[in-house]
Amino acid sequence: MGEHGMEPTMEYDQLIVACDLGTTEFRTLVAAPSNGDGLQILGTGVAEAAGFRDGDFVDVASGTRALARAVRTAESDANVDISGFCYGISGSHLRSVWARGQFQIGPGRRAVTDTDIAAAIERANSIAIPFDHAILATNPVEYSVDGIGGIVDPLDRPGSMLEVNAYLITGSRSVQNSIENAIDRAGYHAAGWRIDVLASALALLTAEEQQQGVVLIDIGGHMTQWVIFRSGRIAGSGMVPWGGAHMTSDLAHGLRSGQSTAEAIKRKDGLVLRSLAHDEVDTDVLFEEDEIDVSPGLIAAILEPRLEEIFRLVNKDMGAAFEPSLLLRGAVITGGGARCEGTADLCEEVLGLPAEVRFDPAGLTVGKSLPEGQWATAVGLAYWAYGADEPIAIEEDNLRERGGVKGIIKSIFKRR
Ligand SMILES: Nc1ncnc2c1ncn2[C@@H]1O[C@H](COP(=O)(O)OP(=O)(O)OP(=O)(O)O)[C@@H](O)[C@H]1O
Ligand SMILES: [Mg+2]
């Protein structure tokens, strides 16, 4: 029992605590199962990220302090004692690779069992990976039995040879050790991890979207992460090292203002599409000595090229995984960097796909409501920690109906 003022700390049978280590903010979410039926939010805590770059703690002392601040704030907000939490992994150290694994079931045919499937996946996991990397996520995408491909779930199908095609995400052991070291020094234990963008997808995308084909683009502070789903399975993921912070820098340069002024202007009047501005702008003013008259057109003239470039770089990074004709549900854009007006339109122009912005995690029915900000990743981490290791079955009808809808979460945690 900890001491948090006069009130005794609350006790719950099971606490779920997740921390989104973002490049701009560390966000901690405390939740508990509600009636065995879903998650209720008990509290949240945010601290400005420090000593943290590209998904790694580059300054242990300041990073640890910021992390401790985010978790302690959540502890007192939820009025609980936290011992450990799950965290998200992101950054340029992540790599992905397709791997095949084969398992000989027998000389004759018999029904494929869970053990056979696990054995085939184990073989796929034994692929050579980069030096000092560990496999952080194994996603079985497709199976074949006796040479017949395209099998979604081979369980109980008769056969003698099972093969799996798996999408593996690997990451640096050094980075992961550094994160767990910071968590440890902050006074907590690392209870598990999940790839950042996969957690966001768990909280934001529906099963139908993943089935019909969708790309999720999370525009954060210093990076933009993406993941593609087709036929209900992952088809690719990656990141580019640019995000909302670069938009702010451009604005500060252009308007010759400080970063914090530029940040405030962006949040209040951020517009990323010149065609949405109703004023005619002469961008020459950017190069003159005179006082600059900040207008929507001018803001858009500065922000549009940067965000357009980010979408182009994402497009390039997606490479062959990006097949527009197979992404019937288009693009879903999230992250703080997607909050400026015109973002979806600009994405549509660059990627040639229908696009929408989405910030609110689906499926939270009871408890406190989330504060303003980017909570999808933390909520996805909490869903995952609660038991959903396979995405997801948020029912389409419930996507925009938040609150009071019972039973959504049950399906979120449905296994295969
Ligand atoms: N209302 C808003 N309007 C415009 N931009 C915003 C708004 N709120 C936040 N941002 C921008 O979002 C960016 C941070 O995004 P986000 O909080 O998703 O990143 P993060 O999760 O900390 O980092 P990452 O996902 O890159 O690890 C900042 O550049 C910030 O300026
Ligand atoms: Mg983020």
CATH number of the domain that 115 lies in? 3.30.1490.110
Q: With 70 as the cut, is the pLDDT of residue 409 above it? A: no
Does the residue 2 lie in any domain?
no
The reply to whether ligand 1 has any atom less than 6 angstroms from the CB of 335 is yes
pLDDT for 415: 28
Clarify whether residues 132 and 78 are in a common domain: no
- 214 and 316 both lie in a single domain: yes
Q: Is 25's C-beta closer than 6 angstroms to any atom of ligand 1?
A: yes
φ, ψ for residue 201 (rounded to 5)? Answer: -65, -40
121, part of any domain: yes
Ligand 1 centroid to residue 326 C-alpha, Å: 29
**336 close to ligand 1 (CB < 6 Angstrom):** yes
Q: State whether 296 and 407 are in the same domain.
A: no
Tell me, yes or no, whether 88 and 105 share the same domain.
no
Q: Is residue 5 part of a domain?
A: no
Regarding the beta carbon of 64 and ligand 1, being less than 6 Å apart is answered no
Q: Whose CA is nearest to atom 12 of ligand 1?
A: 336
Instruction: Calculate how far, in angstroms, residue 369's C-alpha sits from the geometric centre of ligand 2.
Output: 19
19, 20, 23, 24: residue to mutate for ligand 1 pocket, most atoms within 8 A of CB: 24
DSSP assignment of 44-59 equals EEEEE--SEETTEESS
Closest alpha carbon to 183 in 279, 273, 51, 65: 65
Q: What is the pLDDT of residue 36?
A: 61
331-347 confidence digits (pLDDT tens): 999 999 999 999 999 99
Which residue, judged by its Cα, is nearest atom 29 of ligand 1? Answer: 244
DSSP-based three-state secondary structure for 279: coil
* 183 and 46 assigned to the same domain: yes
Tell me if residue 378 falls in helix, strand or coil.
helix
Q: Are residues 191 and 61 in the same domain?
A: yes
Q: What is the pLDDT of residues 304-322, one digit of tens each?
A: 999 999 999 999 999 999 9
8 part of a folded domain: no
Asked if 256 and 402 sit in the same domain, the reply is no
Answer whether residue 128 is part of any domain: yes
Are residue 232 and residue 372 in the same domain, yes or no?
no
Q: Which of 31-45, 62-76, 194-208, 330-344 has the lowest mean pLDDT?
A: 31-45
Q: What share of the chain is helix, strand, coil (3-state, %, to 5)?
A: 35, 30, 35
Answer whether residue 405 shows pLDDT above 70. Answer: no
Q: Are 180 and 168 in the same domain? A: no
pLDDT over 70, % of the chain: 90
**Any domain includes 11:** no
Q: Quick one: what percent of the chain has pLDDT higher than 90?
A: 80
Ligand 1 centroid distance, CA of 19 (Å): 16
Cβ of 263 closer than 6 Å to ligand 1, yes or no, is yes
Residue nearest to atom 1 of ligand 1 (CA): 267
Query: From ligand 1's centre to the CA of 335, what distance in Å?
Result: 6
Ligand 1 in contact with 66 (CB < 6 A)? no
Domains held by the chain: number: 4
| Residue 116 belongs to a domain | yes
**pTM value?**
0.91
CATH number at residue 66: 3.30.420.40
Nearest atom (ligand 1) to Cα of 244: 29
**Whether the CB of 270 sits within 6 Å of ligand 1:** yes
Say if residue 62 is in the same domain as residue 137.
Answer: no
Asked, for residue 68, whether it belongs to a domain, the answer is: yes
**Are 275 and 315 part of one and the same domain?**
no
Tokens of 37: 């039926």
The helix (run of H) or strand (run of E) holding residue 367 is strand 366-367
Q: Point out the ligand 1 atom lying closest to the alpha carbon of residue 334.
A: 18
Q: Where are the beta strands (DSSP E) in 128-249?
A: 133-145, 148-151, 158-159, 161-172, 189-195, 214-219, 224-230, 233-240
**What range defines the domain where residue 342 resides?**
208-242+308-357
One domain for residues 227 and 131: no
Q: How far apart are CA 408 and CA 416, in angstroms?
A: 16
Q: Quickly count: other Cβ atoms within 10 Å of residue 334's Cβ.
A: 28
